[in-house]
Amino acid sequence: YPVAHSLSPGMHEIIYSILGLDWVYIKKEISPDKLEDFIESIKIDKKIRGFNLTIPHKEAVISLLDEVDEQALQIGAVNTVLKTDAGLKGFNTDWMGFLSDITALLGGPPANKTTLLIGCGGAGLSVLEALSYSNFSTGGESDVYLYDIDRNKAEMVASIPRMNLNLHPINKEDLEETLSLADLLVNASPLGMKEGDFFPLKISPSNMKAGLSVYDLVYNRKTELLKNAEELNLKALGGLGMLAGQGLEAFKIWYGKNLEESKLLSIKTAMVEYLKKEVGRDD
């Protein structure tokens, strides 16, 4: 809210077209004071299978739902709601989108990876959930170093225990030393969205661990961080795949049927190509 800029309808229309579904995805602008009325209207509308939410509704909707998925509760935000016979169930697919994309980049799950995470807002919490889930699923454990321009935010996030993660808040002056320990560097902050944004860390052969991989959640442009990583021939990826992935995961929740991995991959590829055109990416 507002949702005029949302790319979700176009992404979902691609899915429906490829699968031959007579489904429609529409944008609806709901002011915060009308959220509860909207939820009640959804419950009695038999044509609606589910819906997505964006800021500021992701947190506020939780108390209005009948059930909330464990990961969404851990993150503290819902972006996808499924209508069931029992009522409305909330999910968070942002972490799923990140996990899918980072797994593709690394060639395997991001378990047992010492990680430096820049940004401890909602996007950062989704990254932590993905790392926690990956370690829990494989019996792994990771150290995650948390940096945020607001030190209090990093400390608050670190104070909440997360399964199979050891969380360490750090200061700006610790970034270079911490990078030398990291297998994975993730930017979950808005830094890089605008040309000229100053990223607080420059990667160089002298301050990085061999085999470092880089993921930047920013998707509207190739950021200076990604350019830096590519100059050093590191595995590096921007956030377009995560954006497509979270949309695809939302669809899978609503669809409720299994799809072949090859079909899912072709759908996601088409979604990423659509997103590139929409945000003006030609790299």
- For the range 22-28, what are the long-range contacts, defined as Cβ-Cβ under 8 Å and sequence gap of 24 or more? 23/49, 27/3, 28/3
Q: Are strands 184-187 and 115-118 parallel, antiparallel or unpaired?
A: parallel
Q: pLDDT (tens digit, 9 = 90+) per residue, 91-143?
A: 999 999 999 999 999 999 999 999 999 999 999 999 999 999 999 999 999 99
Active site residue 277: no
Cα gap 20→200, rounded to integer Å: 46
DSSP reduced 3-state for 39: helix
| Overall size of the chain counted in residues | 283
Q: What residue ranges define each of the domains in the chain, with the CATH number in brackets?
A: 8-93+241-279 (3.40.50.10860), 95-238 (3.40.50.720)
The pLDDT of residue 2 is 80
Place 196 in a pLDDT band, splitting at 50, 70 and 90.
Answer: confident
Cα gap 245→255, rounded to integer Å: 15
Q: Is the pLDDT of residue 80 over 90?
A: yes
Structure tokens belonging to residue 277:
């055109």
> What's the one-letter identity of residue 9?
P
Q: Are 94 and 55 spatial neighbours (Cβ–Cβ below 8 Å)?
A: no
Residue 33 burial (10 A CB sphere; 0-12, 13-18, 19+): exposed
Give the residue-averaged pLDDT of 177-185: 98
67 contact partners, CB below 8 Å, separation of at least 6: 86, 87, 88, 89, 90
Catalytic option among 58, 83, 89, 113: 58
Q: What is the largest distance, in Å, between two alpha-carbon atoms of the chain? A: 61
The pLDDT of residue 104 is 96
Torsion of CA 75, 76, 81, 87, to 10 degrees: 120
Percent of the chain's residues with pLDDT above 70:
100
Q: Is the pLDDT of residue 187 over 80?
A: yes
